[in-house]
Amino acid sequence: TACSEAGIPVIALVPRARIADLDTSLPLTDLIFSPPDPDELVVRARFALRQEQENNSVDKGEFIRVGDLVINTSSYEVTLSGERIALRFKEYELLRLLAENPGRVFTRDALLNQVWGYEYFGGTRTVDVHIRRLRSKIEDSDHSYIETIWNVGYRFNES
């Protein structure tokens, strides 16, 4: 809806007897039973506005920070200890996908499908080559962000 696209919270006022009729596909921020208590209405509206502002904050939506590594998802830039790191597009996409899902293990096939797309016909070792190049650019003896899970794939570590 226009409200959710504009970042405006939507609070539904619903009679308790009609709760079963509520369309759960609506992008509601909150739900209040009618008749509402005026104080509750004010508190819930303030809470919804604050939550929407936090959800749309630049720092939360555009940056992934892990220690000294910063990924700016809106400008496709990566910095390490304040230094800009030049990454190829696929390296960036790999890093971003892994960093957005810390702790999750991705198989090589899953990485190929999500980063290269389903039409890619090359071998899964392509992922290994890109991971190796990526590691050479962002890792050193003090920082190991991407962990190899032998015979499976890769995982991003936050520590």
Report CA 124 to chain centroid distance, whole Å.
25
Inter-residue contact 155 to 149 (CB < 8 Å): yes
* pLDDT tens for the chain, residues 1 to 159: 566 666 678 888 888 888 888 888 888 888 888 888 888 888 888 888 877 766 654 444 588 988 889 999 988 999 998 899 999 999 999 999 999 999 999 999 899 989 988 666 777 788 999 999 999 999 988 889 999 999 999 999 986
What pTM value is reported for the model?
Answer: 0.61
DSSP letter at 112?
I
Alpha carbons 26 and 11: distance in angstroms, whole number: 11
- Domain ranges in the chain are 2-56, 62-156
Quick one: which H or E segment has residue 34? strand 30-34
Architecture, CATH, for domain 62-156: Orthogonal Bundle (1.10)
